[in-house]
Amino acid sequence: MTKLEDILRRTAPPSDPEAVRALSLHATQAAVAAGAVPITFALTPSPLGELLVAGSRHGIVRIAYTRFTPADDVLTLLAERISPAIVETPSGLDQARRELDEYFAGDRTTFDLPLDLALVRGPFGRRVLEQTSRIAFGDAASYAQIAARAGSPRAVRAAGNALGANPIPIVIPCHRVLRTGGGLGGYTGGLDAKRRLLALEGHDEL
């Protein structure tokens, strides 16, 4: 039971729990629509496994593969770094979930989602992800190229670390960054997921 449901239960007829749930849902939806909830999230299926998608008032702030990073760990980090006021509301993330579905179905090559980079640490990490966002569907870049484009050609390892900590994979396409010579490198969702994303985008040889 949420805190909101608990409050409503005290004021609603105790014999009507469905009314409490309905009031809670209505109040939650109204709060989300009014921008009064700092963080909303939803769990959504994908061909790569369950994803947790979280949004702030500014945009999508986190996409996580829950088989690698459990939902509770993601929510704990969001509470610590942004706000403890977090509400699960799939309808509030309909656009993000729809665009992800379209991407996996092969019907979308770019995302039209506002992004919030609040979880990205440091200006270099932000520049790395900004440069990564510019890699087009079907293209790829090396870690060295991304480091150079981010303004520090020798910081290849730091660029790799920033990509490994990418809080919004898929939408910020760190899967399109490869080792010099074409090796896969690493990926937050596992190498099988990286191969499948690249294959979806036409890189069948990897």
Q: What is the spatial distance between Cα 37 and Cα 40, in angstroms, rounded to a whole number?
A: 7
| Partners of 43 in the β-ladder | 52
C-alpha triplet 183, 166, 124: angle, nearest 5°? 95
- By the 8 A CB rule, do 168 and 61 touch? yes
Question: Which residue from 200, 16, 188, 15 is spatially nearest to 109, judged by alpha carbons?
Answer: 200
Q: Which of 117, 174, 193, 200 is catalytic?
A: 174
Question: Which residue from 101, 100, 82, 92 is spatially nearest to 38, judged by alpha carbons?
Answer: 82
Q: What is the spatial distance between Cα 56 and Cα 78, in angstroms, rounded to a whole number?
A: 10
Q: 100 — phi, psi (to 5°)?
A: -65, -45
Any catalytic annotation for residue 193? no
Residues noted as catalytic: 174
